[in-house]
């Protein structure tokens, strides 16, 4: 089994795990189902190739729907982490592009003195341009917005408040 | 495939011999159910295990990760007996209804 086969199989396993997490499947149960699917896919790949083995699964979303009953009371940690990281990376990329545009504008003006500034849509950001004898130096700080967006998306996607609700409902009721 | 038939088949096959997911798919294909995909069989096994109709144990495999072998539980055996009886009744009834019609059609 080569690296491409392993990547193909792991991609299917992670996709399955994603949908299971979205349905509120407990972590231990998800780990069991991941291990089982991985073992079955490797067996199938040895017989018919990894491409056919993964294709035989069809939709991993449908598989997750069929494999476990939905539990809307559980937080979705994996979904939260993936979504939060994706939002963080996208916002950082947008901040990088904004910084490049700012630096490009300053360089076009070709100032003799150091210039400091920020991007309006990135609160807390700071950009710096300093002309040197043999060129220039540019510095940039993207501020807190990308992290804030990442955390916000993580919280909205993971729904951690569900854990509080579960803990509260699990506490014994005092009838005295 | 009719709803409820696949779980019945899986209970029967596992009852005959403990087995793991992919091997069960191959056994179903060998019996002529080649349209059944892994994506249908694996979740059905998980559901049966969740309902305690199947038990499972991990068996180390030389070719890769440990295989999860399923075995029939006493509850599963009862469900299998109930399901097989219901299927026999349904199959007999459907056959009785269809047979005269098919016979008339073939006479025309």
- The string of pLDDT tens digits covering residues A140-155 is 888 888 899 999 999 9
Cα end-to-end span (Å), chain B: 31
Q: Which of A72, A97, A131 is the last residue of a domain?
A: A72
Cβ separation B37–A56 shorter than 8 A: yes
More confident site: A161 or A63: A63
- The string of pLDDT tens digits covering residues B36-81 is 899 999 999 999 999 999 999 999 887 778 899 999 999 999 999 9
Q: Cβ of A35 under 8 Å from any chain B Cβ?
A: yes
Strand order in the sheet with B64-72: B19-20, B64-72, B54-61
Residues spanned by the domain of B76: 5-107
Residues spanned by the domain of A11: 3-72
Residue A160, strand partner residues? none
Name every chain A residue with its beta carbon within 8 A of the beta carbon of B20. Answer: 39-40, 43
Cβ separation B22–A43 shorter than 8 A: yes
SS3 content of chain B, % helix, strand, coil (to 5): 65, 20, 20
How many angstroms separate the CA atoms of A41 and A56, rounded?
A: 9
Across chain A, what does the average pLDDT equal? Answer: 86
Q: Cβ of A43 under 8 Å from any chain B Cβ?
A: yes
Name every chain B residue with its beta carbon within 8 A of the beta carbon of A37. Answer: 42
Q: A104-122 burial, b if ≥16 CB within 10 A, otherwise e? A: eebeeeeeeeebeebbeeb
Query: Same structural domain for residues A84 and A107?
Result: yes
Name every chain A residue with its beta carbon within 8 A of the beta carbon of B46. Answer: 33, 66-68
Chain B interface, Cβ < 8 Å to A: 20-23, 25-26, 37-40, 42-44, 46-47, 50, 61, 63-68
At A34, list the tokens: 């991941």
Query: Same structural domain for residues A110 and A46?
Result: no
Query: Same structural domain for residues A38 and A57?
Result: yes
Instruction: Point out the residue among B38, B44, B68 whose CB comes nearest to the CB of A44.
Output: B38
Structural domains of chain A, count? 2
Q: Which of A22, A55, A72 is the last residue of a domain?
A: A72
Answer whether A25's CB lies under 8 Å from A71's CB: yes
At A84, list the tokens: 């939060």
Which range has the worst mean pLDDT, A74-88, A120-134, B10-24? A120-134
Query: Same structural domain for residues A82 and A157?
Result: yes
Q: Which of A34, A50, A72 is the last residue of a domain?
A: A72
Q: Own/partner pairs for A49-53, CB < 8 Å, 24+ apart?
A: A49/A5, A50/A1, A50/A4, A50/A5, A50/A8, A50/A9, A51/A8, A53/A9, A53/B38
CA–chain centroid gap for A142, Å, is 19
Q: Cβ of A56 under 8 Å from any chain B Cβ?
A: yes
Name every chain A residue with its beta carbon within 8 A of the beta carbon of B28. Answer: none
- Domain CATH number, residue B70: 1.10.10.10
Query: Same structural domain for residues A55 and A86?
Result: no
Neighbour tally for A36: CB within 10 Å? 25
Q: Cβ of A45 under 8 Å from any chain B Cβ?
A: no
Look-up: residue for tokens 């017989």?
A: A47
Neighbour tally for B63: CB within 10 Å? 10
3-state secondary structure of B86: helix
How many angstroms separate the CA atoms of B97 and A104, rounded?
A: 81
pLDDT at A30: 92
Distance from the B20 Cα atom to the nearest Cα atom in chain A, whole angstroms: 8
Structural domains of chain B, count? 1
Mean pLDDT, residues A13-27 taken together: 89
């Amino acid at each position: 089994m080569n690296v491409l086969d392993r990547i193909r199989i792991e991609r299917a396993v992670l996709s399955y795990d994603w949908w299971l997490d979205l349905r509120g499947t407990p972590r231990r149960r998800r780990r069991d189902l991941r291990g089982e699917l991985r073992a079955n896919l490797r067996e199938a790949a040895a017989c018919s190739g990894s491409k056919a083995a993964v294709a035989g699964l069809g939709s991993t979303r449908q598989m997750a729907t069929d494999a476990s009953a939905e539990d809307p009371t559980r937080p979705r940690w994996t979904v939260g982490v993936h979504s939060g990281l994706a939002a963080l990376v996208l916002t950082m990329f947008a901040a990088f592009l904004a910084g490049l545009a700012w630096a490009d504008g300053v360089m076009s003006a070709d100032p003799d003195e150091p210039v400091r500034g920020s991007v309006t849509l990135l609160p807390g950001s700071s950009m710096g341009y300093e002309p040197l004898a043999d060129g220039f130096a540019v510095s940039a700080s993207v501020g807190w917005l990308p992290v804030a967006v990442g955390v916000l998306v993580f919280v909205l996607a993971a729904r951690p408040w569900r854990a509080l609700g579960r803990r509260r409902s699990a506490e014994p009721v005092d009838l005295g | 495939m009719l709803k409820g038939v696949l779980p019945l088949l899986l209970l029967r096959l596992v009852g005959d011999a403990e087995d793991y997911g992919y091997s069960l798919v191959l056994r179903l294909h060998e019996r002529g159910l080649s349209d059944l995909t892994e994506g249908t069989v694996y979740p059905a096994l998980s559901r049966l295990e969740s309902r305690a109709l199947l038990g499972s144990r991990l068996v180390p495999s030389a070719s890769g990760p440990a295989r999860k072998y399923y075995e029939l539980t006493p509850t599963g055996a009862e469900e299998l007996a109930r399901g097989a009886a219901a299927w026999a009744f349904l199959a007999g009834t459907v056959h009785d209804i269809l047979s005269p019609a098919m016979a008339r059609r073939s006479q025309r």
